[in-house]
């Protein structure tokens, strides 16, 4: 059996420093990954592979499994997407194991080859481990292991853990829980670890520090995973592990301890998402399904926010009105698409609350010595709730005594848990790597926050808050109309799929929409795409405009006459230089038609809400161009959905 290799038959020694493909193993791999573990009555390989399929969005550079059966470990791992591992397993005799672990990896540097794929084992093949995160002191630990005669075959930090676990197992008479305690105490950095031991076929042991891990509680079976999507087909009852905890899982028991071995508490919770939400349901791509789910995502995010008297209520808000009244500055931190939702929010928050609002990339925030104190409200926006850059930024902010509020789509994830307050977006699981419904629901949640601040601080009257809430409640139907009229965008996408460069222009809230439109095209279609503030065009980017270059222009609603007129001039400027202009404008804006090669009509909404309708055609455009080019829309090259390394 080649695919599922009994570990005891794996050779050790220098020969294993090369992968099957013959490439040398590479230094300092830092995985950021999907993790699943199972103990129960079902065939572990089926449950684990199914879990990995649902987690593959977290990384897809390589995948592997380890199964425990009759005193031995069987592992299989393959570079590339999960399909490669699947294919390898299809040729093998099944291993009738009921305990197993699986891993899907996203490499930050180094080759994603077979050797570096997880699980990793100790030399004797007694223990297998999978890992997400970074063991910061791994080099030092490795030197110690080598001095003690260990021969490591990859240069991953994870293999170091496997060897340390092997040593600790000997020290603790084969007790995997005690071994895990011992190892975790010596590790620095962020990690989720899940281990199984050959001699202990009915148990798995997991640990976490600053990296995601949830336990799924079944009937006669239990699960561990990076997130609940791996097991919601089996159970919706989950346990949220705390920081620096170890969990021992058998089919009938779940025991939580701290790294010192003392009994510890984890928090049980019920997962609301229904299992079908994590399925494709007939769509070619998760992304198409998630684009179509946007009206529901917005409606759900708005659900139950209005009190009987028409005022806004935010149930999960754990900050008192008093704490919100003393806020004198808002700083929004986020990454990627979530960052662009923050840019949209800035316009609304400043306008409604008169508070200064900065928006900062999470990866930059703590390195510039930002002015943050106890009267700063830091808002962290993250769909996954696990983005390491954002997490590190909020830890920094809290150390400066700022109040931190998370806007997040994932219950039980680390960012809301480490924040003082949270507003959950209720978009349901977002599987496609490129965020769509996550983005729109983040904008809605930001608007709710802005309105709430305005209500508490008295910068908007109650009837004004209610009028904006009413407008927000009309948005799901308006987004639905954009979706229903999207054939024009699909045709356009097929027509423009051969473009080498596409530009996006916007002003005011149209500017972040332009940035997001360009990001989507980069992520999915691997095209050169850039978004600009339209006023900035003449200061440089206009040099990119050439005959036939497609330029998307987001025109603001006519209520903002000054910027509306300026946008019309900007369209003329690029058109005069040969650009093909595709203009997004509100219905009835007849003035734009004469300036555009093509107009995509948008429902009429106030300027501050326009991104909620204007982004949708750009999402569809990117998805269709990528499809026409033959790319994997849900899993674009080099990307991962949940980036849990800095």
Q: Which residues are catalytic?
A: 33, 641
Minimal distance, residue 105 CB to ligand G6P, in Å: 16
Residues 496 and 548: beta-carbon distance below 8 Å? no
For 562, other C-beta atoms within 10 Å of its C-beta total: 10
Minimal distance, residue 413 CB to ligand G6P, in Å: 9
Q: Which is nearer to ligand G6P, 99 or 413 (CB)?
A: 413
For 588, other C-beta atoms within 10 Å of its C-beta total: 10
Give the largest CA-CA distance in the chain: 81
CA 129 to chain centroid: 24
Q: Which is nearer to ligand G6P, 99 or 384 (CB)?
A: 384
Q: Which is nearer to ligand G6P, 62 or 384 (CB)?
A: 384
Which tokens sit at 521? 């095209």
> What is the C-alpha separation between 44 and 485, in angstroms, rounded?
45
Q: Which is nearer to ligand G6P, 389 or 586 (CB)?
A: 389
Q: Which is nearer to ligand G6P, 126 or 641 (CB)?
A: 641
Q: Which is nearer to ligand G6P, 571 or 643 (CB)?
A: 643
Minimal distance, residue 513 CB to ligand G6P, in Å: 15
Output the CA angle 262-265-266, nearest 5 degrees: 130
Residues lying near ligand G6P in the complex (CB under 6 A) are found at 335-338, 382-384, 387, 390, 433-435, 639, 641-643
Cα dist from 82 to 4, 30, 102, 109, 520, whole Å: 15, 19, 11, 19, 24
Q: Which of 180, 210, 185 is nearest to 195 (CA)?
A: 180
Alpha helices for 109-213 (secondary structure H): 138-147, 157-171, 176-186
Minimal distance, residue 640 CB to ligand G6P, in Å: 6
> What is the C-alpha separation between 270 and 499, in angstroms, rounded?
47
Residues 201 and 68: beta-carbon distance below 8 Å? yes
Does the bond joining 304 to the residue before it have cis omega, within 30 degrees of 0? no
Cα dist from 495 to 492, 621, 628, whole Å: 5, 11, 10
Q: Which is nearer to ligand G6P, 290 or 292 (CB)?
A: 290
**Long-range contacts, stretch 177-184, CB < 8 angstroms, 24+ apart:** 177/205, 177/246, 177/248, 177/255, 177/257, 177/261, 178/261, 179/127, 179/205, 180/205, 180/206, 180/207, 180/246, 181/246, 181/257, 181/259, 181/260, 181/261, 184/209, 184/244, 184/246, 184/259
Minimal distance, residue 193 CB to ligand G6P, in Å: 22
Q: Which is nearer to ligand G6P, 314 or 415 (CB)?
A: 415
Residues 44 and 100: beta-carbon distance below 8 Å? yes
For 124, other C-beta atoms within 10 Å of its C-beta total: 14
Q: Which is nearer to ligand G6P, 414 or 478 (CB)?
A: 414
DSSP 8-state symbol, 349: H
Q: Which is nearer to ligand G6P, 153 or 433 (CB)?
A: 433
For the chain, how are helix, strand and coil distributed in percent, rounded to 5?
40, 25, 35
Minimal distance, residue 340 CB to ligand G6P, in Å: 8
C-beta nearest to ligand G6P: residue: 336
**3-state DSSP call for residue 585?**
strand
Cα dist from 250 to 49, 191, 204, 214, 219, whole Å: 19, 22, 7, 15, 11
DSSP bridge partners of 269: 238
Output the CA angle 558-560-561, nearest 5 degrees: 75
Q: What is the dihedral of CA 571, 616, 393, 391, to 10 degrees?
A: -160
Minimal distance, residue 533 CB to ligand G6P, in Å: 21
Q: Which is nearer to ligand G6P, 69 or 293 (CB)?
A: 293
Minimal distance, residue 6 CB to ligand G6P, in Å: 37
Helices (H) and strands (E) in the chain, counts: 19, 25
Q: Which is nearer to ligand G6P, 47 or 434 (CB)?
A: 434
> What is the C-alpha separation between 604 and 172, in angstroms, rounded?
69
CA 602 to chain centroid: 29
Minimal distance, residue 240 CB to ligand G6P, in Å: 18
Sorted by sequence, the CB contacts under 8 Å of residue 11 that are 6+ apart come out as none
Minimal distance, residue 382 CB to ligand G6P, in Å: 3
Minimal distance, residue 602 CB to ligand G6P, in Å: 23
Residues 256 and 241: beta-carbon distance below 8 Å? yes
DSSP 8-state symbol, 534: G
């Amino acid at each position: 059996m080649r695919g599922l290799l009994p570990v005891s038959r794996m050779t050790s020694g220098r020969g294993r420093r090369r992968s099957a493909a013959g490439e040398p193993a590479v230094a300092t791999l830092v995985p950021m990954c999907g993790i699943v573990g199972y103990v129960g009555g079902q065939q572990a390989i089926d449950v684990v592979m199914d879990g990995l399929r649902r987690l593959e969005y977290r990384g897809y550079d390589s995948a592997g499994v380890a199964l425990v059966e009759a005193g031995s470990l069987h592992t299989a791992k393959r570079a590339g997407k999960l399909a490669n591992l699947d294919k390898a397993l299809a040729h093998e005799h099944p291993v009738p194991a009921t305990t197993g672990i699986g891993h899907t990896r996203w490499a930050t540097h180094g080759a994603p080859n077979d050797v570096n794929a997880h699980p990793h084992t100790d030399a004797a093949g007694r223990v297998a481990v999978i890992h997400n995160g970074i063991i910061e002191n791994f080099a030092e630990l490795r030197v110690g292991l080598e001095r003690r005669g260990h021969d490591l075959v990859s240069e991953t930090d994870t293999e170091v853990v496997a060897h340390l676990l092997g040593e600790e197992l000997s020290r603790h008479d084969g007790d995997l829980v005690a071994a895990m305690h011992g190892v975790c105490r010596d590790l620095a950095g962020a990690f989720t670890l899940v281990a199984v031991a050959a001699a202990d076929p009915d148990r798995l042991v997991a640990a976490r520090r600053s990296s995601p891990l949830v336990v799924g509680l079944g009937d006669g079976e239990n699960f561990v995973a990076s997130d609940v999507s791996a097991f919601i087909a089996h159970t919706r009852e989950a346990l949220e592990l705390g920081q620096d905890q170890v969990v021992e899982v058998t089919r009938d028991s779940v025991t939580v301890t701290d790294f010192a071995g003392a009994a510890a508490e984890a928090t049980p919770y019920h997962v609301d998402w229904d299992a079908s939400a994590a399925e494709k349901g007939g769509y070619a791509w998760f992304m198409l399904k998630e684009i179509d789910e946007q009206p529901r995502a917005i409606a759900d995010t708005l659900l139950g926010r209005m009190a009987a008297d028409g005022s806004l209520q935010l149930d999960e808000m754990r900050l008192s009105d008093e704490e919100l009244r003393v806020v004198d500055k808002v700083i929004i931190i986020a990454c990627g698409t979530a960052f662009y939702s923050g840019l949209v929010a800035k316009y609304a928050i400043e306008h409604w609350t008169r508070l200064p609002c900065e928006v900062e990339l999470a990866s930059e925030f703590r390195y510039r010595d930002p002015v943050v104190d106890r009267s700063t409200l830091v808002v962290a926006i993250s769909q996954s709730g696990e983005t390491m850059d954002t997490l590190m930024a909020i830890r920094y902010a809290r150390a400066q005594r700022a109040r931190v509020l998370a806007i997040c789509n994932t219950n039980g994830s680390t960012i809301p848990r480490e924040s003082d307050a949270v507003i959950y977006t209720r978009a349901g699981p977002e599987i496609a790597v490129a965020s769509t419904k996550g983005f729109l629901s983040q904008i809605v949640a930001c608007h709710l926050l802005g309105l709430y601040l305005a209500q508490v601080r008295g910068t908007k009257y109650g009837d004004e808050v209610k009028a904006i809430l009413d407008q927000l409640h009309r948005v799901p139907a308006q987004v639905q109309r954009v979706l229903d009229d999207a054939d024009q965008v699909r045709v356009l996408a097929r027509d423009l799929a051969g473009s080498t460069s596409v530009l996006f222009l916007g002003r005011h809230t149209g500017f972040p929409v332009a940035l997001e439109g360009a990001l989507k095209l980069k992520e999915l279609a691997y095209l050169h795409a850039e978004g600009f503030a339209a006023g900035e065009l003449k200061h440089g980017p206009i040099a990119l405009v050439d005959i036939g270059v497609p330029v998307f222009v987001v025109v603001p609603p006519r209520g903002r006459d000054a910027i509306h007129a300026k946008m019309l001039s900007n369209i003329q400027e690029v058109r005069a230089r040969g650009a093909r202009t595709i203009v997004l404008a509100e219905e009835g804006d007849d003035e734009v038609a004469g300036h555009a090669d093509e107009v995509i009509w948008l429902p009429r909404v106030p300027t501050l809400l326009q991104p909620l309708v204007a982004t949708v055609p750009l999402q569809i455009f990117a998805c269709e161009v990528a499809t026409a080019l033959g790319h994997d829309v849900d899993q674009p090259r080099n990307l991962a959905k949940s980036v849990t390394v800095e």
